[in-house]
Structure 1
């Protein structure tokens, strides 16, 4: 008998406490403790969907936050993600016999080049719990293989996941290819922007901010099938100027040219060791990738958001973000004949030299 005068914790409080316990195991790479905790929650009657989304997904979000704040190495982040993935598998096995697929069939996949597979895996498991037959194809699914799979099944819809905005051009191709064979597409993930703004731009049939909302959306009714030979590429008329194509095709040479000139523009680079130089080259490649994606969508806010985030990441790692303005200036010189690219780069420079952001940097 419970003689405590304290009221029992609410469902949300229980989820938070459970997530804290799981984080304790995940953060020290204790797979056994993590799995035991998850199975214990299920055995005591916690709803499997809540374990997936209110506990495991919450911990995974914290993993990303810890990495961004430089409190977790890349290797530690990968290990933590792998443990969370196995925790999801434990929930799946534990709950498999309880649910019969009665609603229809959904294919869940990450777009080609997207290696963050856990969000899609969480959605796949939630849909199974909701009574769907799910084909989970995993991370980095080439569009041609996705389409081949759809030709061999009778999927009611495809759920495409992407966390990285630079995969949006590839996502557009996948969305259009699925719709061309009459399969509607629901998309989700951070890549599609706040409120799914890029999902609309790219012509997706539906967008959801998280797995629970996606499952609720599908539960309200099946997505209408697109007309055969459905096309969306004409919805991006700005691509006619070829700026995206030229930047994308010449990205390697752009990175090399700017890297060669950066040491003169930013003398602090002369004291960099080999690892710092390698990371500088990687950062340059990411900047050019995001510039190309911003050109594809004709959206400078995508680029400015990335540059602001990059500056914060550099500060968290003890790297001077003063190298970013000269980097963007050198890129603008290289692309002086590309007016949209220059406009986006100038906006990026303004975003990291404004007073509000300077204050935020000092706090970090």
Structure 2
């Protein structure tokens, strides 16, 4: 497996689908289990692809091509090792608005290899459609994936919808925090990977007793009030950057669109942090954003300026003001969290 990993990465870099599949099938022929190939070859390779994109070493097109090849490899491995299900049906899906489908697909295949009857619904499944599906089938449990923490409010609505349908819910993905803290805050059982998910799904007693939600802080109404002001904040933030950062005035339409999207992400991650009442969610995002923008030639001062501007507009939001201040401290000293 160790020797195969760099060869597999080379296949992804060269967009050589056939060679990538050959690497995986060669490992199977050598006696390596399908689960190990999924978890020790495909998963870490895809994580490396994400790091190359984040550091601006790879374009979006390269990342998409590599992801497609990884999906083809998963399909080939799964077709090679296709056990008959001996356990109940598990529905695996991405949260509404969540398009990172490969990680939950890996979990789905691990569960299939462990004997579960798995239905994989793929990316961005609307809550109403998911619940309708659950009503039509006898489902043991639902496994929901969320890779981006700004979607935690939507995740909570999907978790509640499944629980109201009397179907146990298991969640996973980076969006819930590396230790699953935000899953527990939302009242859901959490698994960091496929094997852990399989163990939890087999433990019916624990699956039927998820943690109690801890959302009493939402009574202050900061979260819905911030959501109502989203468009205003983005528009005002862009106008402020144009006034304070001369280079922004010369941006191309594509650069303006990208900046507008970044402003939206700042607001959305701040809203998610308010939803779970954790400044760490916001500061982790700010640290990530500063690193991403640095790789694209945008100074951290632009992020600092935007956070200061939003703080001025949100003077009547005490929790948001505190989170923005902590985020500003990270943006002013990005090495504090990134270790750079």
Find the partner of 2:318 among 333, 339, 343. Answer: 339
Partner SS, residue 3 of structure 2: helix
* CA 191–355 in structure 1, closer or farther in 2 if over 3 Å, else same: closer
- Mapped to 2, the partners of 1:119 and 1:359 lie a distance apart of 24
Q: In the TM superposition, what is the alpha-carbon distance from 1:266 to its structure 2 partner?
A: 2.7
Partner SS, residue 179 of structure 2: helix
Find the partner of 2:183 among 199, 203, 210. Answer: 199
Report if the CA contact (8 A) 2:184-2:212 is conserved: no
Find the partner of 1:57 among 43, 62, 87. Answer: 43
Find the partner of 2:32 among 46, 67, 76. Answer: 46
Report if the CA contact (8 A) 1:157-1:223 is conserved: no
4+ aligned runs moved over 4 Å, structure 1: 220-224, 230-233
Note if 1:215 corresponds to 2:194. Answer: no
Partner SS, residue 296 of structure 1: helix
* CA 243–280 in structure 1, closer or farther in 2 if over 3 Å, else same: same
Report if the CA contact (8 A) 1:104-1:133 is conserved: yes
Report if the CA contact (8 A) 1:16-1:54 is conserved: no
* CA 62–222 in structure 1, closer or farther in 2 if over 3 Å, else same: farther
Partner of residue 8, structure 1: none
Q: In the TM superposition, what is the alpha-carbon distance from 1:342 to its structure 2 partner?
A: 1.3
* CA 231–55 in structure 1, closer or farther in 2 if over 3 Å, else same: closer
Partner of residue 242, structure 1: 221
Note if 1:74 corresponds to 2:60. Answer: yes
Alignment of 1:1-364 (within 5 A): 15-96=1-82, 99-204=83-188, 206-221=189-204, 223-225=206-208, 235-354=214-333, 356-357=335-336, 360=339, 363=340
Q: Larger Rg: 1 or 2? A: 1
TM-score, normalization: structure 1?
0.88
Report if the CA contact (8 A) 2:145-2:172 is conserved: yes
Report if the CA contact (8 A) 1:182-1:225 is conserved: no
Greater Cα shift, 246-255 or 299-308: 246-255
Report if the CA contact (8 A) 1:238-1:298 is conserved: yes
Partner SS, residue 194 of structure 1: coil
* CA 263–358 in structure 1, closer or farther in 2 if over 3 Å, else same: farther
CA-to-aligned-CA distance 1:306-343 (integer Å, 9 cap, x gap): 00111111112222121011100111112122222111
Report if the CA contact (8 A) 1:180-1:231 is conserved: no
For this pair of structures, how many residues does the alignment match? 340
- Mapped to 1, the partners of 2:2 and 2:93 lie a distance apart of 29
Structure 2: 5+ residue runs without aligned partners?
A: none
Q: In the TM superposition, what is the alpha-carbon distance from 1:278 to its structure 2 partner?
A: 2.5
Structure 1: 5+ residue runs without aligned partners?
A: 1-14
- Mapped to 2, the partners of 1:58 and 1:94 lie a distance apart of 21
Report if the CA contact (8 A) 2:105-2:122 is conserved: yes
- Mapped to 1, the partners of 2:117 and 2:337 lie a distance apart of 50
Q: In the TM superposition, what is the alpha-carbon distance from 1:356 to its structure 2 partner?
A: 4.6
CA-to-aligned-CA distance 1:219-240 (integer Å, 9 cap, x gap): 45565446xxx9977x412222
CA-to-aligned-CA distance 1:192-238 (integer Å, 9 cap, x gap): 0131000100000x211112221233345565446xxx9977x4122
TM-score, normalization: structure 2?
0.94
